[in-house]
Amino acid sequence: MPAQDWLRFADLTMHNCHPPMHLVPVSVESIRINQPLPFPLMDKHGVLLAKRSFVIDSRADLAAMAQRGGGLYIDVEDSEAHHRAYVESLHKLVRANKSLGEIANAQITADMLAARNAQENDRPDWLDLQMQANTLLRDSNAAQFMERLLRLNDQLGRHSRRNPDGTLFALVHLSATEVHMYSATHSMLVSVMCGLAAREVLKWPEERETQLCRAALTMNLGMTVLQDQLNRQLEAPTLAQRKIIDAHAARSAEILAEMGVDDLVWLEAVMSHHTQMPGPLQSRTPAQQIARLIQRADMFAARLAPRASRTPISPAAAMQACYFDENRHVDEGGAALIKAVGIYQPGTFVRLATDEIAVVVKRGLNTSTPRVAVLVSRSGMPTMEPTIRETSTRDYRIVASVPHREVKVQVNMERLLPLTAAPASDRPW
């Protein structure tokens, strides 16, 4: 039976499932061990078994949890974060020419319907993309690595072209708030920032932009697990950890070659993305140009994200750090990044001349005048509805960046992301 026919059959079969209340069952096999849960796990009565981001240490612990709860369940609203693992396993069975009986034994839940609806609407599920990247970078299985990597890269590219401000908003917000999947979120943000700079400012050919985005996604393959650990570690890196850090660029390129990557520009860019080489981009090879742009974006994104051992610096200060090179001259790559994403990027907070606090939702005509949505009034109270301000006007000009940790209102991405897709102003490049 063709995969498309099987998926239609699965959709029909789901209507015979009757999970209690608002819960949908998930299989024990679909839960990944030693990785943060993307959703809360509950028992059949809706009693919480494990909260979101909890890490289950062993398959035995998970089995015991399932037995104790009469199975594992998630809220139907969380099912989109779970559906991709199930859909991928289903497609894997179909591609392996398994019998219809074997495929039918795969657990069918409301996740499939959520997946189909998400695909039809083509709305990015950022928590799901974050989980995809996290799984990819931690579990590099040669048989599936390239397929999964290219799919993730294509999705990020499609979303950043259709709604660049929304893509930046989501990834900047997740980078500033998520500590358990730092490496994955960081790589996605760097990839998107570099892609925007290459496409909108540097006008690089499509082939080089593709090499750039793939290199950015995979630059830290050699230390993904350690990078997540260091993000939560209060102490300075140990000598053993420092050795892994120093060798990770070469190790990342080595892993990529083992996975079948034969693009020498991609491999060299990954290997060289920490090499300090100030000077004009034009005098460099394509791989060196890519490596330099990744290095500057890497510096920015790393300074923006919180760590257990330090607080993040303001976006404006982070961008200034990548704007100047090792000789304190303007860096061409850093300048292109600032022009592409702005001094105040979507997803960051600012204080206005009115003393209101707002979140940036859209880049403006120049790097310092974005469109913002007010979340905290001048009296310090949360607004009932976000109020749009154009910071290009004197009355609503930006007077300072505001760190995420100082903003006490809860940011609802689903509520704010539509504001990023409003009709764009004409950008001068």
Domains and CATH numbers, the chain: 3-121 (no CATH), 126-341 (1.10.3210.10), 343-422 (2.30.30)
Contact 362, 371 (CB under 8 A): yes
CB atoms near residue 54 (< 10 Å): 13
Query: How confident is the prediction along the chain (429 residues), in pLDDT tens digits per residue?
Result: 443 443 333 333 333 334 444 577 777 766 777 777 877 888 888 888 888 778 887 888 888 888 887 888 887 555 555 555 555 555 555 556 655 455 444 443 434 444 444 444 457 888 888 888 988 888 766 778 888 899 999 999 999 999 999 999 999 999 888 777 889 999 999 999 999 999 999 999 999 999 999 999 999 999 988 888 888 888 888 999 999 999 999 999 999 999 989 999 999 999 999 888 888 888 899 999 999 999 999 988 887 776 656 666 666 677 777 888 888 888 999 999 999 999 899 999 999 999 999 999 999 988 889 999 999 999 999 998 899 999 999 999 999 988 888 888 888 888 899 999 866 544 544
What contacts 291, CB < 8 A, 6 or more positions away?
A: 215, 268, 269, 270, 272, 273, 275
DSSP-assigned letters across all residues of 6-54? HHHHHHHHHTT---STTEEEE-GGGSPTTSB-SS-EE-TTS-EEE-TT-
**Nearest one of 40, 85, 74, 32 to 56, comparing CA atoms:** 32
Tokens encoding 203: 């006008």
Return d(Cα 50, Cα 46) in angstroms, integer: 11
Q: Please tell me the distance from the alpha carbon of residue 25 to that of residue 211, in angstroms, as a whole number.
A: 40
Q: Is 155 in a helix, a strand, or coil?
A: helix
The CA–CA distances, whole Å, from 366 to 115, 343, 371, 373, 428 equal 38, 9, 11, 18, 8
Contacts of 272 (CB under 8 A, 6+ apart): 249, 287, 288, 291
Contact 372, 361 (CB under 8 A): yes
What is the full DSSP assignment across 221-246?
GGGHHHHHHHHH--SPPPHHHHHHHH
pLDDT of residue 422: 60
Find all residues with CB under 8 Å of 303, minimum gap 6, and list them: 312, 313, 317, 318, 321
Within a 10 A sphere around the Cβ of 106, how many other Cβ atoms?
17
Residue 10 φ/ψ, nearest 5 degrees = -65, -40
pTM score, two decimals?
0.71
Tokens 């960081």 — which residue? 186
Beta carbons of 142 and 258 less than 8 angstroms apart: yes
The 3 state secondary structure assigned to 181-223 is: CHHHHHHHHHHHHHHHHHHHHCCCCHHHHHHHHHHHHHCCHHH
Q: Are 336 and 201 in contact (CB under 8 A)?
A: yes
- The pLDDT value recorded for residue 211 is 97
User: What type of residue sits at position 84?
Assistant: R
Name the residue among 203, 389, 413 with its Cα closest to residue 289: 203
Contacts of 44 (CB under 8 A, 6+ apart): 20, 23, 69, 70, 71, 73
